[in-house]
Amino acid sequence: MGFFSLGKESRPAQQETVAMAHAAVTRFLEQRQVENFKVYVVLFDHQPIVLIKAQPQKRLRFSNIIE
């Protein structure tokens, strides 16, 4: 899991939010049989921002991700 904290140590609630977002995105991609991906999650203004790095695949179109 990728979590970058700037400045202060993160609170347990923030770490839990990041972990939940990471798990949800990972599960989403695995269910759609996406191969060779990495998921990075950062918090911005207490909201999780997710970056997905994956090899190009037909089943990984932008319209398929936004559900």
Domain range list for the chain? 1-56
- Coil, strand, or helix at residue 62? helix
Closest CA to 11 of 46, 62, 53, 49: 46
List, in sequence order, the alpha helices (H) in 1-67: 12-31, 62-65
pLDDT surpassing 70 at residue 57: yes
pTM of the model: 0.68
- The per-residue pLDDT for range 14-44, each reduced to its tens digit, is 889 899 999 999 998 898 888 899 999 998 8
